[in-house]
Amino acid sequence: MGRYILRRLIISVPTLMGISLIIFVILALAPGDPLSQFANNPEVPIEVRERVRTSLGLDDPVHVRYVKWVSQLMQGDLGYSFATRSSVTGLILQRLPNTLAILGVAFVIGVALAIPIGILSAVKRYSLFDHSATTIAFIGFSVPSFFTGLVLILIFSVNLRWFPFIYDSTVVVRDLPSLAAQVRQSIMPIAILTLIYAATTMRYVRAEMLENMPQDYVRTARAKGLGSGTVVRRHVLRNSLIPVITLVALGIPNIFTGAVITEQIFSVPGIGHLLILSISTADTPVVMAVTFIFAVLVVVFNLVADVLYAVADPRIRYS
């Protein structure tokens, strides 16, 4: 197992290199030399500018700049923000926990809802439960998250006044009231993301269950006298979840898209919110770094999915 994980880790290096190359080429092709804004600032005297340009290596050939950028990246140095003059790594580390917390909770709840609902839908195909579940799932993944978000705000913040619609980042969980405040302000962002994950995952689970149920091995299991609950749990479900893991992994980039939008709607101070903020101030180093961090997260979660796949499917050998 350890060797398998190591092998997968090594395979993801070229992917990350490719992604970093894409981001770098986009910036190199961009008009107006966006990375050297500071070095081109006319208020800075020419000699200082020249020194800054040399120290930043802006006059080096493109491939040299790329190698320098990547080696800095690998040391965790993402440069400095134009807007705040603080280190980009610091800015991201400060906000990443918020994003991961909301994404993680939503993901766990979403999957925990999707698997039982998907199973029940498939087992009781064409029942009232199946029809309502598939319809809700269909709506859940068709209606864009920014509209679901606005509707939730309309219902729960404007009309019912249950939850605040602006996320207050100064809340620190110390006692029961502050915990309650934190929970109340997290419910709506988490609910939107949960709906998306649950809807897509439930459809996959249902489809895979239906694919497996008429198969011969299921009939064999029944024929040897297993109860239908055992057949579904031990035989059908296990085989159905294997492709579901792949499908969920393929949707991981979308998960982060949802996070950017949700953070923006509720002003949750995560990296998605940071991304939009830095775009409005043309803070290129931050935008570039956040884009790259999103790519790293996608690759990492794909890796996790691959490892889970190997755990779930005994046919995969770790050689």
User: Is residue 19 near other proteins by the rule CB under 8 A?
Assistant: yes
Phi, psi of 80 (to 5 degrees): -120, 145
Give the Cα separation of 239 and 207 in Å (integer). 12
User: Is residue 23 near other proteins by the rule CB under 8 A?
Assistant: yes
User: Is residue 286 near other proteins by the rule CB under 8 A?
Assistant: no
Q: Enumerate the β-bridge partners of residue 80.
A: 87
Exposure string (b/e) for 239-250, b if CB count within 10 Å is 16 or more? bbbbbbbbbbbe
Instruction: Please name the residue that has the structure tokens 């059908």.
Output: 236
- Give the nearer residue to other proteins in terms of CB position, either 240 or 262: 262
**Residue 8, Cβ density class (10 Å: 0-12 exposed, 13-18 middle, ≥19 buried):** middle
User: Is residue 132 near other proteins by the rule CB under 8 A?
Assistant: no
Out of 67, 147, 168, 227, point to the residue binding other proteins (CB under 8 A).
Answer: 147
User: Is residue 318 near other proteins by the rule CB under 8 A?
Assistant: no
Question: What binding mask, one character per residue, do residues 165-184 give for other proteins by CB under 8 A, x or -?
Answer: x-------------------
Question: What binding mask, one character per residue, do residues 262-281 give for other proteins by CB under 8 A, x or -?
Answer: --xx---------xx--xx-
Shortest Cβ 267–other proteins spacing (Å) = 11
User: Is residue 256 near other proteins by the rule CB under 8 A?
Assistant: yes
Q: How far, CA to CA in Å, does 80 sit from each of 56, 67, 73, 290? A: 12, 18, 12, 13
Give the Cα separation of 52 and 183 in Å (integer). 47
User: Is residue 13 near other proteins by the rule CB under 8 A?
Assistant: no
- Give the nearer residue to other proteins in terms of CB position, either 17 or 48: 17
Shortest Cβ 66–other proteins spacing (Å) = 17
Shortest Cβ 114–other proteins spacing (Å) = 18
- Give the nearer residue to other proteins in terms of CB position, either 6 or 26: 26
User: Is residue 139 near other proteins by the rule CB under 8 A?
Assistant: yes
C-alpha closest to that of 246 among 304, 314, 294: 304
- Is residue 110 within 8 A of residue 197, CB to CB? The reply is yes
Out of 180, 253, 311, 316, point to the residue binding other proteins (CB under 8 A).
Answer: 253
Exposure string (b/e) for 122-161, b if CB count within 10 Å is 16 or more? bbeeeeeebeebbeebeebbeeebeebbeebbeebbeeee
Give the Cα separation of 237 and 7 in Å (integer). 28
Angle made by CA atoms 274, 155, 178, in degrees to the nearest 5: 55
Angle made by CA atoms 273, 34, 66, in degrees to the nearest 5: 95
User: Is residue 237 near other proteins by the rule CB under 8 A?
Assistant: no
Residues in the chain, overall count:
319
User: Is residue 87 near other proteins by the rule CB under 8 A?
Assistant: no
Instruction: Please name the residue that has the structure tokens 């219902």.
Output: 155
User: Is residue 61 near other proteins by the rule CB under 8 A?
Assistant: no
Shortest Cβ 176–other proteins spacing (Å) = 30
- Give the nearer residue to other proteins in terms of CB position, either 221 or 297: 297
Give residues in contact with other proteins (CB under 8 A). Answer: 14-15, 18-19, 22-23, 26-27, 30-32, 34, 138-139, 141-144, 146-147, 150-151, 153-154, 158, 165, 250, 253-254, 256-257, 260-261, 264-265, 275-276, 279-280, 282, 284, 287-288, 290-291, 294-295, 297-299, 302
